Structure formats: C-alpha cells, structure tokens
Amino acid sequence: MRPVCVKCQCEMRCTKTGADIIVMSDGKPYQIWVGDIFGCLGCGVEIVTGWGNKPWKLSHEPNFDDLVNRLESSPSHRVEYVYEKPTPKGGNDAPD
C-alpha cells in the first residue's frame, strides 16, 4: 500500500505504526483498533490506514472503559478518534 496525497501529488510517509484508534458511536467509545498513521510531507494532512481484520477491544468486553482511560492518559500512546459522521477536530462531539 502506498497512499498518495491528492492535493500535493506525493507519496505519504508512515509517521506512526501501532496507533490506538478509538471508534466512537453516539459520542461514546465503541471499539478500539490499532492502525498506522501516514502523513503528507507537503501539506501535513494525515490518514489512518493499516487496520486489522477485527477490533482489539469492544465496548461490551470487561475493562473496556478502563483501557480507554489508560490509553487516553498515556503519553507513550497516540490515540485518534473515528466518528460516524464528520466532526470538526475539537468540536462538541470530540473528546477534550
């Protein structure tokens, strides 16, 4: 896989492997996946790709909320959020 930035017409580079991806549903964490972050060296846009075949953890599983809290508070983890519909970064539906 070689993602390309359409705007800059250049190949994107992997900036983080193994980022924690929290999928949101109705404004609450629903699933945790692991993915890779690729960024454009031209404009700085980033994408999440390289997701596995299934989530790492689901909201109905034991200790899900504790795991979300630990990931969000850990300086060594990069956490990104995926919403059901477009949400401005830092908007009302996004976590602080």
The pTM for the full model equals 0.80
Per-residue pLDDT tens over the stretch 10-65: 999 999 999 999 999 988 999 999 999 999 999 999 999 998 889 999 999 999 99
State the Cα–Cα distance between residues 33 and 23, nearest whole angstrom.
8
Band of pLDDT at residue 92, cut at 50, 70 and 90: very low
Reduced 3-state DSSP string for the chain: CCCEECCCCEECEEEEEEEEEEEEECCEEEEEEEEEEEECCCCCCEEEECCCCCCCEECCCCCHHHHHHHHHHCCCCCEEEECCCCCCCCCCCCCC
Task: Please state the domain extents for the chain.
Answer: 4-82
